A and B are shown apart, each in its own frame.
Chain A
Amino acid sequence: MWRAAALAVAGLRPRLGHRLLSAAAAQAVPSPNQQPEVFYNQVRPPRQLGPNPRFVLGDWRAQGGKAWVALGLSIPIFINNEWHDAVSKKTFPTVNPSTGEIICQVAEGDKEDVDRAVKAARAAFQLGSPWRRMDASERGRLLHRLADLIERDRTYLATLETLDNGKPYVISYLVDLDMVVKCLRYYAGWADKYHGKTIPIDGDFFSYTRHEPVGVCGQIIPWNFPLLMQAWKLGPALATGNVVVMKVAEQTPLTALYVANLIKEKNDMVLADFPQAGFPPGVVNIIPGFGPTAGAAIASHKDVDKVAFTGSTEVGRLIQVAAGSSNLKRVTLELGGKSPNIIMSDADMDWAVEQAHFALFFNQGQCCCAGSRTFVQEDVYNEFVERSVTRARSRVVGNPFDSRTEQGPQVDETQFKKILGYIKSGKEEGAKLLCGGGAAADRGYFIQPTVFGDVQDGMTIAKEEIFGPVMQILKFKTIEEVVGRANNSKYGLAAAVFTKDLDKANYLSQALQAGTVWVNCYDVFGAQTPFGGYKMSGNGRELGEYGLQAYTEVKTVSMVLSPVLLDSTRVYP
């Protein structure tokens, strides 16, 4: 799906037929308002108000429709279907990475706010609560409806995502929002289909399993795909009947908090069998805040039953440690990667170059599964490098609201500086800088598309996750050699193989230690297929039916059958 959108953006005709283009990619992208208003506690963007209505905060309708421009007000925390300031009253700014300017202030959640949210979630999870007594099919209905509301506000959400994250608006609209809606609808369907089994246990017993929700789930999501990561987390958790305390990334809190509006939006469906008005209070709670404070509070909370984290491997370890030292909460982690992308000499060269470029540069290089070690077989190496550099040079960097733009800014100054540091280390350690290598603009966090050739396995840029538009191309001779080198990493998130040879494709897809292997494609995601990491790229899987396991406890119920009655009926089949 990402590929389809990338192709659309690159103006390339997909060569594997029209099916590659999703329905969304075929539709027109409405033009965004580049200066969207930011608000909460209402469900539709207010109309343009006055001469400088740039950021409207507060309850617009409660103010009789009068806009008030932000003056010391901030986007609050969402707990129990209500809006709260942080207990500490602290706020933090969220920044537009294209300009470095502050968009608005956001309440800074901390331990006390997490405590409040966990309390609300726990209350919503009590046996006999509306959420616990709701039919599974009705939970599915609510998720489906949330997808409908997100679809209704798709243009606005895509705009806000681009404003806060910097990714090109066309991608936000076609890729992120499309996948968000599909993910929620997919898990809506699972709500009444993930069932237990009856089991032929030995002896005179009757045994069955129940799939029960785990309980209060802490979910900590990253800034690279803010809305999509929210959907990946909420979909399976809510389908299986859990309650959620979500911490959104401090860089990109705005879209997730807008979705909070939709979660509580009153139900105007003409739905007969549907007494609920939106999700019951406390089922979803969303806290903007920082990792070391709010994130840590979730990971070490005694009354959180499970924590799901997507982010860096370094923080993933802290989460696992905190879970161990607190209450042994269940942990799923989706962490970093240094994914190998292997180009065999028999591959279709045009396709492989384009896909390898996309594998690394998509989303400004800010993908955990980025193809950041491109292994190219010796006899095609020079040609591949040359064409990759040409492609990188043609990459359009600029205003993410411009429909021609392929690459926007990095998410913030920290990332920006970190990436430039890696580029410097690459040069120092002897890799060959073929293009790019520096900042791409004098304001905002733009970095030139950068390609390194002659990269050696021992170099920092070949081992560490850069999370930026910096491509490393490495040379290999034999298939056995490349398997060894590709697997010689602490990570194991994804891998790809480009070849026309079925045997090579089969051999490599089995030999590579990675949670996902793409053959002749890259970044192909669907809500139906699981995603997650081997080794230090994570624990557990998200998406697909597999994604439901992390959100269910399996309960075995065994009951004794009366031997007396059984004897008397044993003559009957």
Chain B
Amino acid sequence: NQIAEPVTCVPEAKPEMSTPGKPDLPAPLSNLKFQYTKIFINNEWHNSVSGKKFPVFNPATEEKLCEVEEGDKEDVNKAVKAARQAFQIGSPWRTMDASERGRLIYKLADLIERDRLLLATMESMNGGKLFSSAYLMDLGGCIKTLRYCAGWADKVQGRTIPIGKQLWETTSSGMEIFFLIQDMNLLWNFPLVMLIWKIGPALSCGNTVVVKPAEQTPLTALHVASLIKEAGFPPGVVNIVPGYGPTAGAAISSHMDIDKVAFTGSTEVGKMIKEAAGKSNLKRVTLELGGKSPCIVFADADLDVAVEFAHMGLFYHQGQCCIAASRLFVEESIYDEFVRRSVERAKKYVLGNPLTPGVNQGPQIDKEQYEKILGLIESGKKEGAKLECGGGPWGNKGYFIQPTVFSNVTDEMRIAKEEIFGPVQQIMKFKSLDDVIKRANNTLYGLSAGIFTKDLDKAVTVSAALQAGTVWVNCYSVVSAQCPFGGFKMSGNGREL
């Protein structure tokens, strides 16, 4: 089941965040120490109240990296108390000039930039993410997002509203600032980026936060905690409690003294969070959940570009993206050629340790995901989709899955309906514009969508008709701090960035 020898693959079009120049890629750190493994509350490190710890693994080797203190309800309570204290009227955080908050966030960006290599190495080891992606994309995105949010700190303005006709009717001015304690539950696929997407806007607007990173990937968040302290944020403004969803996560979503919860993860858990919010104190809820995003390729598209973006749109980070282009609709007349090129592209993959240069696919995050993906691949075979390549595990250790492409996929198959979150591409055929819009929208999800065409009319029309929070035209996975991101329908509530 070995994939052929390494082939260097240079994508012709890079579906990446646009930057005018990329830094040179350094070698990852070889002697990484995991210095921060405790719960971060009030700018101090705490053991868990229960005394419990949980192990953190390297998914490429299945080796244990270290143990981390396991936060639970009591630890969440401690963190909320600290956050509430930091949020008292008259506290240093509440009386700080908005521009000064911006300064602190900017400083945090500088510190993350200073520790970029360390964080990227850690992200790669703990998350199974390609080191090059972690260094260039994840860390680059984090730094830019923080700097962007820093600038907003003194620019979220209220309005004065002319409510009366008289010359000197009083005007009312409202500070449109959420003064809340926010709580966040994070997903493991982009641990640092998700952390920054959450804390950037929250801190910019003057909130205090309690963050629960994913149990699979708590390490980089804890390192950033140390940087938050170093940057000079007052104690209690940011608190980070590593732990599990059903315990620490549930404690957050049902806590009576938390004003808002923001969650990124599966739709299933998102529903539980919203329920818990309703049952407890009607806390505000924002959710960024799953997707089954359509990517539509018309016959008039530039085929090279479309194949490459569609491929990266699905296979980037082992398919573990909520925006993954996991329903690829290709117009009938180019279908066979498109499938042929996509399979050829997928076969070029080099699997291996994500820290190794030249590797372009790492492991899935953990055993549970790995088994779930293999199960869905089996269902695809059984339900009659045509397996073009891949279709099974790879290697003797680590959670590797072969890049897999299915053709002749039909809408009712499980692989066409459920979020796989793995390196499994589904290619469907369509005949008319009318037909494809109907089918693309026929899903519970509505996170994102892609269109490939040279026809301006089609591009504008289809982007208006698709029910998705983001529509990319002739590109995919273009995400930047300036553009909002979030889902229609059951892909989420609210927008980030």
Decide if A and B are genuine partners: yes
A residues neighboring B (CB under 8 Å) = 18-19, 22-23, 133-138, 140-141, 144, 182, 185-186, 188-193, 195, 206, 270-276, 506-507, 510-511, 527-528, 545, 559, 561-562, 565-566, 568-569, 572-573
- A272-B113 CB under 8 A given contacts A182-B99, A528-B99: yes
Stretch at the interface among B173-181, B302-310, B455-463: B455-463
- What is the CA–CA distance of A193 and B456 in the complex, to the nearest angstrom? 27
Is A569 in contact with B102, judged by CB distance below 8 angstroms?
Answer: no
- Tell me the nearest residue of chain A to B458, going by C-beta: A565
Given contacts A510-B168, A545-B157, contact A559 B456 (CB under 8 A): yes
Judging by beta carbons under 8 Å apart, are A185 and B457 in contact?
A: no
Q: How many residues of B contact A (CB 8 A)?
A: 49
Interface contacts beyond A140-B147, A273-B23, A565-B461: sample of 11 additional A-B pairs, CB < 8 Å, sorted by A: A19-B95, A185-B102, A185-B106, A188-B151, A189-B155, A272-B116, A272-B140, A510-B167, A545-B155, A572-B437, A572-B465
Which stretch of B13-21, B30-38, B411-419 is in the interface? B13-21
B482 interface hit (Cβ, 8 Å): yes
Q: With A190-B151, A192-B148, A275-B20 given, is the CB distance from A569 to B465 under 8 Å?
A: yes
Residue in chain B with minimal CB distance to A191: B151
Instruction: List residues 1-48 of chain B with CB under 8 A from any CB of chain A.
Output: 18-23
Contacts of A137 in B (CB 8 A): 144, 147-148, 481-482
A270 in contact with B21 given A561-B460, A568-B433 (CB within 8 Å) = no
Q: Is the CB of B148 within 8 A of A569?
A: no
Is B467's beta carbon under 8 Å from chain A?
yes
The smallest C-beta distance from B323 to any residue of chain A, in angstroms, reads 21
Please pick, from B23, B99, B462, the residue contacting A272 in the complex, using a CB distance under 8 A.
B23
Residue of B23, B98, B152 most packed against chain A (CB within 10 A): B23
The answer for the CA separation of A527 and B155 in the assembled complex, in Å, is: 10
By a CB distance below 8 angstroms, the chain A residues around B116 are 272
Asked if A189 and B434 sit within 8 Å, CB to CB, the answer is no
Q: Contact flags (1/0) for B103-128 with A, using CB distance below 8 Å? A: 10010000001101000000000000
Determine the residue in chain A with the shortest Cβ distance to B25.
Answer: A272
Q: Does B441 contact A (CB under 8 A)?
A: yes
Question: In the complex, what's the smallest C-beta–C-beta distance from B139 to chain A, in angstroms?
Answer: 8
Given contacts A135-B20, A138-B20, contact A511 B152 (CB under 8 A): no
Counting CB contacts under 8 A, is B150 at the interface? yes
B170 within 8 Å of A by Cβ? yes
The residue in A135, A182, A545, A565 that gathers the most chain B C-beta atoms within 10 A of its C-beta is A565
Minimum C-beta distance from B21 to chain A (A) = 3
| A27 CA / B464 CA spacing, docked (Å) | 55
* B438 beta carbon closer than 8 Å to chain A: yes
Cα of A572 to Cα of B435 in the assembled complex, Å: 12
Query: Closest CB of chain A to B52's CB: distance in Å?
Result: 39
Q: Is the CB of A273 within 8 A of B437?
A: no
> A135-B20, A185-B103 in contact; A511/B168 too (CB < 8 A)?
yes
Write out the residue numbers on chain A whose beta carbons fall within 8 Å of the beta carbon of B102.
185, 189
Whole-angstrom distance between the Cβ of B60 and the nearest chain A Cβ: 25
Closest Cβ neighbor of B98 among chain A residues: A528
Residues in B219-278 with C-beta less than 8 Å from chain A: none
| Known A137-B147, A527-B99: A569·B461 in contact at CB below 8 Å | yes
Instruction: Give the distance in Å from the alpha carbon of A545 to the alpha carbon of B154 in the complex.
Output: 11
Residue of A nearest to B99 (CB): A182
Q: Using Cβ atoms and an 8 Å threshold, which residues of chain A touch B95?
A: 18-19
- A398 vs B248: C-alpha distance when bound (angstroms): 65
**Contact: B155 with A206, CB < 8 Å?**
no
- 10 A-B contacts (beta carbon < 8 Å): A133-B20, A137-B147, A144-B106, A182-B99, A185-B102, A186-B99, A272-B113, A561-B460, A569-B464, A572-B465
Which residues of B lie under 8 Å from residue A562 when comparing CB positions?
A: 457, 461
Residue B100 at the A interface, CB < 8 A? yes
Q: Is the CB of B461 within 8 A of A507?
A: no
- Report how far A561 CA is from B455 CA in the complex, Å: 11
Q: Report A497 CB to chain B, min CB distance, Å.
A: 13
The minimal Cβ–Cβ distance linking B233 to chain A, given in whole angstroms, is: 15
In the assembled complex, the Cα of A429 lies from the Cα of B490 at a distance in Å of: 79
Evaluate contact between B458 and A193: CB separation under 8 angstroms: no
Q: How far is the CA of A276 from the CA of B441 in the complex (A)?
A: 44
Which 6 residue pairs spanning A and B have beta carbons closest together?
A: A189-B151, A272-B23, A275-B21, A562-B457, A565-B461, A510-B168
B151:A140 contact, CB within 8 angstroms: yes
> With the chains together, A206 CA to B467 CA distance in Å?
18
Determine the distance from Cα of A378 to Cα of B481 in the docked complex, in whole angstroms.
58
Q: Which of A565, A572, A573 contacts B457 (CB 8 A)?
A: A565
Distance in angstroms between the alpha carbons of A195 and B99 in the assembled complex: 21
**Bound: A545/B143 CA distance, A:** 24
- Asked whether A569 and B434 contact (CB < 8 A) given A206-B460, A272-B113, A510-B168, the answer is yes
Tell whether A189 pairs with B482 under 8 Å between CB atoms, given A182-B99, A510-B167, A573-B467: no
A137 to B145, CA, bound (A): 10
Minimum CB–CB distance from A317 to chain B (whole Å) comes to 31
Name the CB-closest residue of B to A565.
Answer: B461
Interface pair B154/A186, CB less than 8 Å apart: yes
Q: Which A residues are in CB contact (< 8 Å) with B155?
A: 189-190, 193, 528, 545
CA gap between A186 and B102 in the complex, in Å:
9
Which of chain A's residues has its CB closest to B22's CB?
Answer: A273
Of all chain B residues, the one with the shortest Cβ separation from A19 is B95
Cα-based distance from A186 to B100 in the complex (angstroms) = 11
Q: Which residue of A lies closest to B204 (CB)?
A: A189
How far in angstroms is the closest Cβ of chain B from A563?
9
Contact (Cβ within 8 A) A572 B114: no
Inter-chain CA distance A256–B21, complex, in Å, is 31
Closest-CB distance, B284 to chain A (whole angstroms): 24
Closest chain B residue to A195, Cβ basis: B482
C-alpha gap A573/B488 in the complex (Å): 12
CA distance A447 to B457 in the complex (A): 72
> How many Å from the CB of A274 to the closest CB on chain B?
7
Q: Give the residues from 181 to 219 in chain B that come closer than 8 angstroms, CB to CB, to chain A.
A: none
Q: How far is the CA of A273 from the CA of B137 in the complex (A)?
A: 10
Residue of B nearest to A544 (CB): B157
Contact of A561 among B113, B441, B461 (CB under 8 A): B461
| A221 CA / B481 CA spacing, docked (Å) | 35
| A193: chain B residues within 8 A (beta carbon) | 148, 151-152, 155, 482
How many angstroms between the C-alpha atoms of A565 and B438 in the bound complex? Answer: 14
Complex partner residue of A189 from B150, B168, B441, B462, CB under 8 angstroms? B150
- Residue among A18, A136, A507, A566 facing the most chain B CB atoms (10 A cut-off): A566
The residues of B that contact A270 with a CB separation of less than 8 Å are: 113-114
Q: How far is the CA of A21 from the CA of B140 in the complex (A)?
A: 36
Smallest CB separation, A544 vs chain B (Å): 8
**B147 / chain A contacts, CB cutoff of 8 Å:** 137, 140-141, 144
Contact A135 B18 (CB under 8 A): yes
A246 to B460, CA, bound (A): 43
Are B19 and A189 within 8 A (Cβ)? no
Are B113 and A271 neighbours in the complex by a CB distance under 8 Å?
yes
CA distance A274 to B467 in the complex (A): 36
Q: How far is the CA of A561 from the CA of B84 in the complex (A)?
A: 52
Closest residue of chain B to A135 (Cβ to Cβ) is B20
CA distance A572 to B437 in the complex (A): 8
CA distance A189 to B200 in the complex (A): 14
